[in-house]
Amino acid sequence: MNRYRSTLCTLALLLSALSAGAQSNFYLKNGDRVVFYGDSITEQRLYTTFVETYIVTRFPKLKVFFVHSGVGGDRVSGGWAGPIDFRLDRDVIAYRPTVVTCMLGMNDASYQPFKSDIFNNYATGYQHIVERLKAYSPSIRMTLIQPSPFDDVTRPASFEGGYNAVLLRYSQFVKELAEKNGFDVADLNTSVKATLERANATDPNTAKKIIADRVHPGPSGHLIMAEALLKAWNAPAVVTRVEIDATTKQATVAENTKVKGLTLSGDTLTWEQRDEALPFPLGIPQNFVSNQEVPTLALTLQSSDFVAALNQETLKVAGLKSANYRLKIDGEEIGSFSKEQLSEGVNLATLPTPMTKQALAVHALTSRHNDLHQVRWRQVQMPLAKEDILETERALSAIDRLDESIVKKQHSLALPKPHKYELVPQ
């Protein structure tokens, strides 16, 4: 028995080391300042806030600051909010970023068949952005984002070959530019297009709603874009992974969590978990998106690998005797499962657990602080920049302090809490 327990202990330590190694390979580091730069698709603040919430909940002790600087209509030359160098100074460099993501191209290609002169302007302008940011900081890390797709899947292309084929030629340039400069690249086109194709084969009417205007994805489309960026950053799939042998009353696997107090009373199994992360909050979809968007989200998740790739909170229990069990967490019933289902494994991230509810509250604060920054930037800083009003700077400083307080609360709320688990026979 002592040798058995020693082996289990060794395995647990090995899994813990492997988990820590996976997290250490994640792209962002403590103290990073990330600026998301782009056009109206970035201005929607959806893929960006999904990425932020994932990072805050999956790495609750990681302190990273996020700024969203997307402006509708922007091209590599800038746009109505200012020419490119002015935009970079005010909306990127002013925040002292260590990491910048850049997604441009949807407007640059001008919604028409490929033309070399238009493409050359894009290539020259994009190279300028890279050079300008490298001049600001030679150590800056950039993730160049290949443009998200124009929907030529659920509706006929408006010209031969379609506009997305043009964007793919621009995407190839972005990839080559990133490689040339030693930067990272994220493909936000391929996976979204593949999801559209699978969704369209299943439910054409709902599939059209993923990118309703063919340009700007809704929340479900942005979720797949967020997945692509997170994958480029080596984001881990595992929230927690627990495997329990009810016969021996041992947790044989406890990845990214600690299991203690395992007790078997009759056929009721109880234990306590102290997790190191929260799930991405999809377990209560109607609280994550509006009610009318729930069917689109469901189809998108069915047509993609988001849950498998990024949201695995697995519980496996072997050696149970009764046929069916109710799972309770903190006294709240989560669901009913057969002993076969529990033996194969249940993904708690898809269920309305207390952890999901906590993650939803974190995401609410993610949205709130980004909405506040949008007000600061677009309704105070930009329109009053040329006015000689003393209180403007004081107002901006006050909003910044409020934003910092919300972010502090967001990070505090993301710290996982201990939970009591019960498997009660039915």
277 lies in a domain?
no
353 lies in a domain?
no
Question: Quick one: CA dihedral 243, 249, 252, 254, positive or negative?
Answer: positive
b/e 326-345 (16+ beta carbons within 10 angstroms → b): ebbbeeeebeebebeebbee
List all residues 6 or more positions away from 131 whose beta carbon is below 8 Å from its beta carbon: none
**pLDDT for the residue numbered 7:** 42
Where residue 110 sits, what CATH number does that domain have?
Answer: 3.40.50.1110
Q: How far apart are the first and last CA of the chain?
A: 32
At 384 the three-state DSSP class reads coil
**pLDDT for the residue numbered 168:** 98
- pLDDT, tens digit, 9 for 90 and up, residues 375-384: 999 999 999 9
Note whether 133 and 91 are within 8 A (CB). Answer: no
Taking 50 as the pLDDT cut, the residues of the chain under it are 1-22
- pLDDT, tens digit, 9 for 90 and up, residues 304-318: 999 999 999 999 999
22 lies in a domain?
yes
**pLDDT for the residue numbered 24:** 64
Cα 247 from chain centroid (whole Å): 38
Distances (CA, A) of 263 to 78, 246, 251, 421: 62, 9, 11, 10
46 lies in a domain?
yes
116 lies in a domain?
yes
Average confidence score pLDDT of the chain: 95
Report phi then psi at 122, rounded to 5. -65, -50
Q: Determine the Cα–Cα distance for residues 309 and 311; give it in Å rounded to an integer.
A: 6
Report phi then psi at 210, rounded to 5. -65, -40
**pLDDT for the residue numbered 243:** 98
Q: 19 is in which domain, residue-wise?
A: 2-232
112 lies in a domain?
yes
11 lies in a domain?
yes
**pLDDT for the residue numbered 23:** 53
- Tokens, residue 114: 């490929």
Burial of 172 (0-12, 13-18, 19+ CB in 10 A): exposed
**pLDDT for the residue numbered 335:** 97
List all residues 6 or more positions away from 185 whose beta carbon is below 8 Å from its beta carbon: 143, 144, 145, 146, 174, 175, 178, 179, 232
Note whether 393 and 355 are within 8 A (CB). Answer: no
- Tokens, residue 161: 């070959």
150 lies in a domain?
yes
Question: Which percentage of the chain shows pLDDT scores above 70?
Answer: 94
User: How many separate domains does the chain show?
Assistant: 1
